[in-house]
Amino acid sequence: MGVVDTHRVLNEFIKESRKKRLFQSSYDLQKEILCQTSDHPLKELSKDDIHSLLLSYGLFKPEAWRRAQELVTQWKIEGLFQKIDQEYQRLKREWQGPEVPLYVYPFNEGGLFHRREHENKGGVAFKEAIYLFYGKPVKKDDWKAVLAHEYNHVCRLTEKGINLNHVSLLESLVIEGLGEYAVYTLYGGAYTAPWTKQYKDEKLEELWKSKFRPSLKNRGQKNHLDFLYGSNRKGLPKWSGYQLGYKIIESYHNAHPEESLRTMLKKDGKTLLNGSSFP
């Protein structure tokens, strides 16, 4: 397993895009070449489901194939896939985590969950696979941040046997908090996401007491999106759930400096919460 050689399908898509007829759908072409169910381990998802999922998390838009070609060419020159695989194997050893296939595709600035200015990367993780989306570097080797964040998710999901259809809001916060705290401990604050510093502690405490704490037993990842990404209608500021998750883990580790990322991955959400500054 390790890093999947997506060069082949990307180059095939680019080749076919050059020959595409005027009225042929670019989206259908991308779906047919990149999203065959036999090429992905997400057995419950159809080809359409896989395509929609990847687009929502950052897959480049099919009409941007020329830009994708530039990125893929540069990646080959730089040996990016080999670098990613080396770091992936290091994290796997450090966290004693599972090995799952890791897919790398060009990133689409402005995907559904990536609206921040100057964003150049994204990702999504499942027990079965990791998907990374990467554009032009903003910082040296900044792909490491999304790799560590998403692989930490895989480790947590596997360690605790989490079913995303039944996961609690508390666990969703902990999953995101552990993922980004991993970035901080491995690479430093310069590589953490802007949302780790978005709101002042007073605002977070107010949100915790009024919005989050009463809803911690809310189950099902789909029911947590407003808490994580924000909802004006529900009075939930953008990215507030992500920052609260990060603060839970940060404050727990500050109170328990003897712990490591590996040991925190093993602890249940209630233990991490009770040992934090957000009881």
Per-residue pLDDT in tens (0 to 9) along the chain, 279 residues: 789 999 999 999 999 999 888 788 999 999 999 999 999 999 899 999 999 999 999 999 999 999 999 999 999 999 999 999 999 999 999 999 999 999 999 999 654 444 444 578 999 999 999 999 999 998 999 999 999 999 999 999 999 999 999 999 999 999 999 999 999 999 999 999 999 999 999 999 999 999 999 999 999 999 999 999 999 999 999 999 999 999 999 999 999 999 999 999 999 999 999 999 987
Q: Cα dihedral sign for 215, 216, 221, 225? A: positive
In order of 14, 205, 249, the CA distances from 271 in angstroms are 49, 19, 11
In this prediction, residue 115 carries a pLDDT of: 45
> What's CA 120's distance to the chain center, in Å?
13
DSSP-derived letter for residue 209 is I
CA–CA dist 85, 4 (Å, integer): 9
In this prediction, residue 110 carries a pLDDT of: 53
In this prediction, residue 118 carries a pLDDT of: 56
In this prediction, residue 1 carries a pLDDT of: 73
Q: With b meaning 16 or more CB within 10 Å and e meaning fewer, what string describes 22-31? A: eeeebeebbb
